[in-house]
Structure 1
Amino acid sequence: MVADLVPARPPRGLLLLVWCGYAAFAVGLLHALVSVYWAAGGTAGLDTLGGTLEELARQRDPRLIAIVWLTAGLKLVASVLGLAVVQQWGRRLPRGLLLVAAWGAATLLVLYGGALTVGQVLVKVGVVAAAPTMNWKAFHWHLFLWDPWFLAWGLLLAAATWGSARRQRTG
């Protein structure tokens, strides 16, 4: 009777995957907020980007600023996908479209973050030679924060999406 009114909790493993959705949202939101900060004119941390990107950002190049605003919006949408695959309101969205979008975003994030991180690790351990003009400060920021952050976000979103698809199949 009363037990019939209490919704069944998902198995512990699926509950962990739900938390991955929340974590994917948080990681993505933080990524988006950094982009919004830079697009709005913030300069703290620009030196961690390095190269032409840093120069154009400091010059407030209108094309770059437009791209950063667009990127911030895409990051926000991708972060919300983490919630959509684990929240009740996400079930009101077309399921196939939601899963394709979430898997697509997760794949892009993993490939982008993974390829850059692996490439930088190869430079760091000496398998690939560093350019003589390497900006080591920016390199280390990318190696230890920016690029693994994309990879972690993609893995969290993939886990949440997998859990959502699995829960849908099992009822």
Structure 2
Amino acid sequence: MKESDGDRACVPARLAWCGHAAFVLGLLYALVSAYWAAGGTAGLDTLGGELERLARARDPLMIAMVWLIAGLKLVAAVLGPALVQSWGRRFPRWMLLTLSWGAATVLVLYGGLLVGGQRLVKTGVLEASPDMDWTAFNWHLFLWDPWFLIWGLLLGAVTWSSTRRRTERTSEMDV
């Protein structure tokens, strides 16, 4: 059965803000990555370890990877509003939902596992490495990694709502 425009209705207004908030978080994250890829150094010390060292050395492979990551973050950022704005109807719904579910899953797992593990270190359940860069660790625990988690949860909420609305409409049509 072919989808009609009515079947592709936007998510309820009470959840549409999730799509916009996911866009803002993703866009900001993409801009930070693009800044670092373009040669910016402010905040590099919050990365720590080998990432910081390679970024400061302007390692060509690292810079290429950071540009790629910035692009992927931008694509993932656009998924939120694509699910709640009428211009998103230009794309096949299955594609938007597949990409959104994939991105939300990666973001939540990545952010959640990192934050969970870091909390275990911070609370002393797991022992920290003797050469731990505590500055970078704290930036990851309190900003970078929760940011991934929150972005993923917002994108997941709007994707779930969009999927659910489609399923409900299909069920109504079967009655």
- Say whether residues 1:84 and 2:67 are aligned partners: no
Aligned to 1:7: none
Q: Secondary structure of 1:41's match?
A: coil
- Structure 1 unmatched ranges of 5 or more: 1-9
Distance (Å, rounded) in 2 between the aligned partners of 1:129 and 1:119: 11
TM-score (norm 1): 0.90
Identity across matched positions, percent:
69
Equivalences for residues 59-70 of structure 1 within 5 A: 59-70=57-68
- Say whether residues 1:96 and 2:94 are aligned partners: yes
Q: CA deviation at 1:162?
A: 1.1
Aligned to 2:29: 31
Moved over 6 A (4+): none
Aligned to 2:69: 71
Q: Which amino acid aligns with 1:47?
A: D
Distance (Å, rounded) in 2 between the aligned partners of 1:162 and 1:41: 38
The one-character-per-residue Cα deviations of 1:34-87 (angstroms, maximum 9, x if unpaired) are 000000000000000000100010000000000000000000000000111111
TM-score (norm 2): 0.88
Within the candidate set 131, 134, 138, 1:133 is matched to 131
Aligned to 1:54: 52
- Structure 2 unmatched ranges of 5 or more: 1-8, 170-175
Q: CA RMSD in A?
A: 1.3
